[in-house]
Every structure is written in structure tokens, then in C-alpha cells.
Amino acid sequence: MKPVTEIRSRTAVLPFENIDTDRIIPARFLTTTERSGLGKYAFNDWRYQADGSDNPDFPLNKTETKGCAILVAGHNFGCGSSREHAPWALLDFGLQAVISSEIADIFRSNSLKNGLLTIVLPADAHRRLLEQPGIELSIDVREQFVELPDGSRIGFELEPFAKHCLLNGVDQLGYLLQQDEAISAYERQHERQEVAA
Amino acid sequence: MTAKTLFEKVWDAHEVVAETEATPATLYVDLHLIHEVTTPQAFTELRQRGLPVRRPDKVLATLDHSTPTTPADAAGHYTYVTPEAEQQVHMLQANCAEFGIELNGWGSDHRGIVHVIGPEYGATQPGMTIVCGDSHTATHGAFGALAFGIGTTEVGHVLATQCLLQRKPKTLAIHVSGKLKPGVGAKDLILHVIGSIGVGGGTGQVIEYRGSAIEALSMEQRMTVCNMSIEAGARAGLIAPDETTFAWLKGRPRAPQGAAWDAAVKHWKTLVTDEGARYDNEVFIDAADIGATITYGTHPGMVTPIGAAIPAARDAQEEKALAYMQFSGGQQLTGEKVDVVFVGSCTNSRLSDLREAANVMRGRKVAPGVRALIVPGSVLIKREAEAEGLDEVFRAAGAEWREAGCSMCIGMNGDIAQPGQLVVSTSNRNFEGRQGKGARTVLASPLVAAVAAVTGQITDPSAFLEQAA
Ligand code: SF4
């Protein structure tokens, strides 16, 4: 994983609440056995028309949102399934951060493990961003703030361990593997209890 | 000793390393369930790093999502929807063989939907931590197990270390007091709960369902309730184990036997929330307020009692949902013409669910123009249903009796509805396109689904049963 320290981009806005993982990537694309190349399916059933051409009404198809790395979406983004294909698809599509007023637990956990930053902002700040698509934001991961074009800053929370992993580009499996001794001790103790029972 | 909730007891017993401000807890996993869809990339990662599976004995695999629900041909070949679906299945078979994991695959009695086979096999037990790369893992909470849905990266973590990194979630108690009305079941109860607290109402929390209406539920019904915890955004859902739980588990293949059984039950009886233990949040619901409940929108929180008018859209979101569903505010759903009925999924594909549907279909016909799919949750359930003659009931009614699997719940195997079709489904998600692009899904109990199948329209089951009596 590459370190994520700062993200600067114009925003693309999807002003809908409860955007679920079936919207982000429909189930029929989950038969893949790879994690790469899923960007073409991101928001598939919204993004394309029946004949396969781009749906001109879909916000992420507009010329002004092309290349945007920050998505601002409605409340409770990423609800539904545990499919990690959702953040894989968004990252491959070119997104680096998703901002909402609530982000579903499993989606958030999956995203952070892949270097897709998820940011939850207070309702009023979130509303302001929803209302101003295309503004240039700068996100500072170390200092945990989003900076608007007028220089104002909105702080956000970030789980310290996820932050450490993002900033240093480390993956969590390495950390877990280092705990081998503690895990073995737990297993020995547990199995003794089972035998005693 | 401080009073603890059921959740805290299970959590504390599995902390390998407690959480600190800087790091999440390392939580030991007792049972890891895997299936073909969310694992290939995890095994690839293991292989790339040269890591073994730490505890293959604690992993149980099955095939369910991409598998066809039509029988094999004479030569034993299954027809998959795409070569990719078949490849995914082959990959899990190969991965299980390579890493020494027990696979309940083709030919096994215990092949089936991952959340159906875990309990059925007796692998799911009270007090365990259980994970699966699937959001409906909360189903296993019905046994008083702490069960989380995880992503594929975490599947890799658990395969390699048998541990999961987790921040301690908050707790939410949902008390359901009183008694459910006749004809109202577990599915109605949980839809009502999600409607009450909202699809994000459980975010960051583990729900414990409690109260007299919960205690009165059978194990199958408890699984239906816990299954849909994720639809309220919760990390997990739990019900304290009791005599109902023990009686259900006893004698199952992986359940402890003999003296070990007695010792286990003694321990399991301690898995209750202590008097005086505190939850972070609590919700109180009276079972008498719950009627036969269905969804009318595009998420499981948009629910209404059957027979009530659908609420008017409160915002642009709901307007969009109603437009997709081709419904309008103030309208009754009863009388709405139905195209497809699906009885199945990890929410409602167990024997009791099939009986509920068969009781309605016995001696009746599926209405003209309606396609009814009945998909048992596991091979064993299919066999048990056939031993009771339920398959004959369904076939005689004109319904399709299928092989076990997820089927139209997610439509990955090609069992899908067509654009615009109205589906009454016993599954758990009515998201846009979930059951096929453009398909309109109404979630309901097996009773409501079966009544819809024979009447050809959304029908109040109590009115139907009265008429039939
Ligand atoms: S039945 Fe549906 S919800 Fe359950 S595991 Fe299968 S796809 Fe997921």
C-alpha cells in the first residue's frame, strides 16, 4: 500500500443517502477472482445506459467531474454487503477519498485497509460540501482536516491505527503477524481450558 | 465483579491483546466460515507472502453464492451462469485442498448457504467468535455467538493469524416485550425494528435482542432476527442462549458430546447479561404493535404494515425510491400485482420457513403469470423437506423446487428477476437492482410471500387465512 498523506482534488458529488454496496458494484461483477480492474464497474447500473453508453445524467459522467479523486456522498454511504470489491472498484475508478455524514462500518473498515480514505463530517459541513460540487479540497491526513478554497478547515476523526497505516503505507497483516507469540499463548491457554472442561 | 453484558463477556474472553488508544484489540476467532466469492484474493495474498493457514481446523468452507440451483446433468456437470462463476467455485475447491480446509462442497449434505450450514452442522455455538466474509454473519448471533461480517483483507488476516483487529463496538439493547400477534413472525418483527431505528440506527454497535417476545422465538426465528442486524447497520446481533438453544444444538455433528456437552452447557448458561450491566443505548418495542410487515422502498428501513397506506415521500431520496418501485405515497400495497415470489436466503430458507410457505400452497395453485422459486438453504434442509413431501406440495402448486444456495437473494448465479418485475422476496435486501437490474423487491415473511404467490398480488395474510378457514 502506498502512503496516503495528502489528497488534493475537486469534488464530485452524489447527493443521495444510503448508497449501498449493490449500487457501488452490482453483485454480478463479484465473480472475479482478482482485485484489480474493477473501476469500470463502479456504479455500473447508474453510470451506463441499457446500450452500454454513458448515462449523461449521472454526476460522475459529467466532464467537470472527470479525474476527481474526492467523492462527497449522502448520509450512510456504503451500507449493505461486506464486499471489498466496493472500495477496490472506487479506488480503481480513481477515487482516493469519500466524504459523508455517516459511512457504514464494514465499508469504512474495508476502505481504510486499501488506502481509500473515508471521512465523516458534521451534518452542516457535509451539507455545504454537497451543495458546492466541484470545489477544490485539500485533505491533510496527518493533521486530520479538510481545507476549503477559502482557507477554512474542518477537522475529522480518524482511528489512530488506521491513520498510522495510511501515513506509513503499512498493511495491518504485518502488525498481526508480529503478535504470533501472544496468539500462541492464547491458544495454549484456551486449549487447556477446553481439555479441563 | 462488575456486571457485564453478554457482548462484553464474549468479547473479553477473546481478547488476545486488549485495545489501546493507538491500536485496536486483537480478537481471537473460534470459527471462520468461508465461501467462494470473498476469498480468492485472500488466498492469493497468503500464497504471495508464503503464509500457511494458521488453524485450518477452525475454518469451514461451503459453496453457495455462485452455484446454480438447477441439478447436475446425467454426467454430474453443473451449468454455471458464467465461466467466471464456475472458476470461482473451482478456485475455492483448489484453495481448500491446498490449505487443508474442510469444504462442504458438491456432494456434501451440509453444502448450502454459509449462515444456514454453520448452525445446522453444530459448528456455531454459544460464546464463540465467528467471522465470515459476508455481512449476514450476524445470523450466528442467534446462538449467543459474537459474529462479524468482514472484508476480504480481513479474511486473509484471519486465515493467517486466526485473529481480527477490532475496535470495541458500542452496545444497543432492543427489548421486545409482550407477545407477537397470531400470523406475525420473526421477519415481521425484524422489519419493524429496522423501520423503527432506521438503516443506520445500529451503526458502530452490537445489538442484543431481549425480552419476552424474543425468548419465545424458536432458533430458526432467532436466526431470522439476528440475520438482518446488518440492515440496521449494526456490527452484530446477539440473543442470549437458553434451553431453546441447547435443545436445538444437541446431537448436531460438531456439537460437543457426552461429558463435554454437559460442561459446555454449564458454561453457556453463564452467557447472559448480568443484572445491572449497562448498554450504551436501549430501544423498547411492544410486540403487540407489530403487524405483518413488508417493505415498499429500496432499503429495508422503508417498511409498512400490510394493509396500511404507504407514507408519502418525506424527501427527494424517498421520492426516488418510490419512483423506482413504481409506487406512490398514500397508496395501499395490497392488490398490487406480483410477478415473482422467492422463498429462500439465509433469512428464511430453513425447514420451518418452507413449512410456512407449503401450508399456504398445499392444495392451491400459484396464480397465473407468477413465477415462484422455492430454494432451500442447505442440502440437508432440502432432503428433510422432501421427506415431509413439501417438494410435492410446491411442485403441485406450480412452484419451482430448487437446489440449495443463495439464488435470487443476490442473483449471482443467474437466478434473477427481469427489469420492472415485482418480486415478493423472503430475503434481506431490497436495494435497487439487487435481484436483477430494474427488479423491484418487496421483502416479507414466507407466509406473506406464499400468499402473494397463490393470490398473484400482495395480500394481507390474516384476511387470506380467515377466508380460507
Ligand atoms: S442468502 Fe443472500 S444474504 Fe444470505 S449469504 Fe447468500 S447472498 Fe448473502
Instruction: Point out the residue among B17, B153, B160 whose CB comes nearest to the CB of A177.
Output: B160
Which residues of chain A make contact with B167, given a CB cutoff of 8 A? 159
Phi, psi for residue A6 in degrees, rounded to 5: -145, 140
User: Residues in chain B with pLDDT < 50?
Assistant: none
pLDDT of residue B175: 98
**Which tens digits make up the pLDDT trace of B159-187?**
999 999 999 999 999 999 999 998 899 99
Q: In sequence order, what are the residues at sequence separation of 6 or more whose Cβ sits closer than 8 angstroms to the Cβ of residue B165?
A: A161, A172, A175, A176, B23, B24, B25, B26, B27, B154, B157
Residues A33-60 as b or e (16 or more Cβ within 10 Å = b): bebeebeebbbbbbbbeeeeeeeeebbb
* Closest C-alpha residue for ligand 1 atom 1: B345
Q: Which atom of ligand 1 is nearest to the CA of B115?
A: 5
pLDDT of residue A41: 96
Indicate if the alpha-carbon torsion angle B461, B464, B466, B468 is positive or negative. Answer: negative
Is the model's pLDDT at A197 over the cut of 60?
A: no
C-alpha cell at B116: 444456514
Is the model's pLDDT at A195 over the cut of 60?
A: no
Q: What is the CA radius of gyration of chain B?
A: 21
3-class DSSP state of B104: strand
* Closest C-alpha residue for ligand 1 atom 4: B346
Distances (CA, A) of A140 to A116, A136, B93, B121: 14, 13, 44, 49
pLDDT of residue A196: 54
Is residue B397 lining ligand 1, measured as CB closer than 6 Å? no
DSSP state of B76: S
Q: Which atom of ligand 1 is nearest to the CA of B427?
A: 2
pLDDT of residue A76: 94
Asked whether the beta carbons of residue A179 and residue B162 sit closer than 8 angstroms, the reply is no
Kindly report the average pLDDT of chain A as a whole number: 94
CA distance to partner chain B, nearest, from residue A98 (Å) = 17
Asked whether the beta carbons of residue B165 and residue A175 sit closer than 8 angstroms, the reply is yes
Q: Which B positions 211-230 lie with beta carbon below 8 A of chain A?
A: 230
pLDDT of residue A155: 98
pLDDT of residue A2: 87
pLDDT band at A194 (very low <50, low <70, confident <90, very high): low
CA distance to partner chain B, nearest, from residue A182 (Å) = 6
**Which tens digits make up the pLDDT trace of A51-71?**
999 999 999 999 999 999 999
pLDDT of residue B315: 87
Mean pLDDT of A124-138: 97
pTM: 0.95
Kindly report the average pLDDT of chain B as a whole number: 96
Q: In sequence order, what are the residues at sequence separation of 6 or more whose Cβ sits closer than 8 angstroms to the Cβ of residue B172?
A: B202, B205, B206, B207, B208, B234, B279, B280, B281, B282, B283
pLDDT of residue A176: 96
**Which tens digits make up the pLDDT trace of B338-358?**
999 999 999 999 999 999 999
- Residue B461 to residue A67: CA distance in whole angstroms: 52
Q: What percent of chain B has pLDDT over 70?
A: 100
A89 contacts A156 by C-beta, under 8 angstroms: no
3-class DSSP state of A48: strand
